[in-house]
Structure 1
Amino acid sequence: MSDRLSSLQRAVLLVLLAEARELTNAELKEVAGLSLTGKPRVQLNELGLVESTTPWRNILVHELTELGAQWCTEELSRPAPARAGSFGGALYSVLGGLHRYLDGSGQLLTDIFQPDVAGQIVRAYAAITDGKPEQVRLADVRTRLPHLSPDEFTRAIVALADREGVHVRAEADRKTLTEDDRAVAVSLGGTARHLLTIEVLK
């Protein structure tokens, strides 16, 4: 099956594996500079390697299937495809090293790659503020990340709050709080926090 796939399709599969989450084409573009559309998308869907859905109007969301994860595992031990170039050759050298590590440790490939929830929050914040260090409501950030569970979101905000230049504050005027604000509030030091500011985006 591997020799039937283009470099783009291989790249999409590996990015979906590494990100460990659903990705829209816009997110694929942001993360790796590529997108999955047309015949390449249809082929991956038909092969059962990627599931593509449209939960929002005209927005495709791609997710690696179990068969896709199996393909990625098998790809670790394969040589670089023809005309992979220097970067492709380097990538497959890294994949080969990862294969040796997994063989020796008994771990699964999916044990290593976990979603970067904090990174997703930072990107959502940047999209809201256009990259500026402005104060935004956690509820607004949360709205952009519907795939995250409440616990995932809370844990990531708590972790971000420990970073230099990240401020998670309480809303002083409680009368302005909405039900959404209260629902996504994160408790820090025994105080419910509703606002997020990130001074330096990384």
Structure 2
Amino acid sequence: MPDKPLSFSATCALLILMAEDREMSNPELKEKYGVTITGKERTTLNEGRFVTSRRAGRSFSHVLTDKGWHHASELVRDGIGTPGTGFAAAAVKALVGNLQRHIARSENSLAEIFGREEDLVPANTGEPVAEPPASEPAAAPIAIAETPAASVPASDDIETMIRKAYARLADKPNAWVSLTRLRPLLGDAPRDEVDATFRRMIGLPDVRLVPESNQKMLTDEDRSAAVVIGDQAKHLILIGA
């Protein structure tokens, strides 16, 4: 059964959690935005599995689920259709509706736009990595799984081929995989069609494409395998975040 449309207030609560990209408690929401996620809005978001809420002391804390992120991406793509009145509602609709123009122009995903800075920097340990001073040696490159390559059936569409190739190479959930190793698994798929698919996939909530953080470690093969999105070469892909 399809989900019932969210009320405008529940939609706004979902968008706040998307923009914050973290768990937020009701006291934090009250202090920063003057609202709390309680009553009907919390029940609707929880029952629809858009938001997970947990009791924290005498209040609740809330965080978007994968379904919530997906719904937020649909709102950005299609615009907010739920009713709302006044300048505040009009402003939200205008901002969300036109955010898609920025995504289309920059070819960044929602995760890259709203993701917290420490989560967008690939690192071996999973911990935030600070930029090294110029006098220090560059950080070690990201560890990439050395799973033996095997071609993906050509009967699959290119996005499916990319996802299957990623699954073969990723040695753990949310692993970063080099396009240098992924491209050979795509067989004879045309380069321009593969690159167009990467550019489309970066707008999906479960896909991230980022540059190698240690540019000095890039080989000619790495640079050749990169996909240029916007004005930036992307060397690594993560699917499933």
Q: TM-score band (shorter)?
A: 0.5 to 0.7
Deviation at 1:80, TM superposition (A): 5.1
What letter corresponds to residue 88 of structure 1 in structure 2? A
CA distance in 2, matches of 1:112, 1:151: 20
What letter corresponds to residue 101 of structure 1 in structure 2? H
CA distance in 2, matches of 1:2, 1:93: 24
Cα contact 1:80–1:88 (8 A) shared by 2: no
What letter corresponds to residue 107 of structure 1 in structure 2? N
Partner of 1:73: 73
Pair 1:19-2:17 in alignment: no
What letter corresponds to residue 69 of structure 2 in structure 1? A
Deviation at 1:105, TM superposition (A): 3.0
CA distance in 2, matches of 1:2, 1:102: 26
Pair 1:87-2:83 in alignment: no
Partner of 2:177: none
Gaps of 5+ in 2: 119-125, 131-241
Deviation at 1:57, TM superposition (A): 3.0
Cα contact 2:3–2:48 (8 A) shared by 1: no
CA distance in 1, matches of 2:91, 2:110: 19
Q: Give the TM-score normalised by the residue count of structure 2.
A: 0.44
Pair 1:61-2:57 in alignment: no
Cα contact 1:49–1:64 (8 A) shared by 2: yes
What letter corresponds to residue 50 of structure 2 in structure 1? L
Deviation at 1:151, TM superposition (A): 5.3
CA distance in 1, matches of 2:93, 2:32: 19
Query: Structure 1 segments of 4 or more deviating over 6 A?
Result: none
What letter corresponds to residue 73 of structure 1 in structure 2? S
What letter corresponds to residue 111 of structure 2 in structure 1? T
Partner of 2:29: 28
Deviations 1:18-73 (Å, cap 9, x if unpaired)?
1111000011111211111123212211101000012x333311001111111111
Secondary structure class of the residue paired with 1:36? coil
Cα contact 1:80–1:89 (8 A) shared by 2: no
What letter corresponds to residue 72 of structure 1 in structure 2? A
CA distance in 1, matches of 2:30, 2:112: 25
What letter corresponds to residue 41 of structure 1 in structure 2? R
Partner of 2:100: 99
Cα contact 2:8–2:83 (8 A) shared by 1: no
Deviation at 1:97, TM superposition (A): 1.8
